[in-house]
Amino acid sequence: MFSGIGIGLGGLLFLLLALLATAIRVLREYERGVVFQLGRFWGVKGPGLVIIIPVVQQMVRVDLRTIVLDVPTQDVISRDNVSVKVNAVLYFRVVDPERAIIQVANFMEATSQLAQTTLRAVLGKHELDEMLAERERLNLDIQQVLDAQTDAWGIKVANVEIKHVDLDESMIRAIARQAEAERERRAKVIHAEGELQASEKLQQAAFVLAQQPGAMQLRYMQTLGAIAGDKSSTIVFPLPLDVLAGVMGQGRKDAG
């Protein structure tokens, strides 16, 4: 009889220890527990030691750390009808555990699907050149749209980064031809601007020399001196009439 009582007490003690073990929960600093009592929301607990009434209460753990979510590659058609493949990375965290558990069945899956559709929708409003050159602005646009839509789920989207914009080979060749044509256009414009500036300077120099005949003769003498240093060829240099007249007049004076 006493042995039966001892076995019964031992079983009861084991049951009490098992219930106590299931009632005690320890939450880390970055965790919170959403507690439901008889199916209804009761409160958010943690961090630290949390006591849960077995059977009556249930708790769902929620991680408050920033989650890095890779957005799969999406086929996007830009506003100028160019098909590209774009993937991105999303940084978000739970700021309201109650809404993250109650308002959406699986906030991770919901955020991933919403990020994919938002990526296609936002990038489809922009041209290819904007996707390639203005990623920071596009990242901000996507982040703001996602943050506004996930706010009802208690989720804060901290950042969105577009990782790759992949083009097919034909589009890469077309962009290369366009870049080459742009470089040629700039080179021609720079050359034309140089010719214009040179012509303006020559016009100014001609005006100054026309005002000072002596300066013209000095310029001719300098040019002759420069040519005389090169003995590899014979150069016929035209002599201005005013210089020739001056030389002949000086010769007549000497003869007289």
pLDDT tens for each residue of the chain, 256 residues long = 545 565 666 667 777 777 777 788 889 999 999 999 998 999 999 899 998 888 889 999 999 999 999 999 999 988 888 889 999 999 999 999 999 999 999 999 999 999 999 999 999 999 888 888 889 999 999 999 999 999 999 999 999 999 988 887 766 566 666 667 777 888 888 888 888 888 877 777 667 666 666 665 666 666 666 666 665 556 555 555 555 555 455 555 555 5
User: For residue 147, which of 69, 93, 109 has the smallest C-alpha distance?
Assistant: 93
Instruction: Decide: 205 and 219 in contact? Cβ < 8 Å.
Output: no
Rounded to whole angstroms, what are the CA distances from 168 to 133, 164, 173, 244, 253?
Answer: 18, 13, 9, 73, 86
User: Are 25 and 33 spatial neighbours (Cβ–Cβ below 8 Å)?
Assistant: yes
The rounded distance, in Å, linking the Cα atoms of 89 and 143 is: 11
Tell me the three state secondary structure of residue 228. Answer: helix
Distance CA 182, CA 171 (A): 16
Indicate the DSSP class of residue 194: H
- Domains of the chain, residue spans: 11-62, 67-172, 211-228+236-256
Residue partners of 168: CB distance under 8 A and separation at least 6: 83
The CATH H-level superfamily of 67-172 is Band 7 domain (3.30.479.30)
Total-model pTM: 0.65
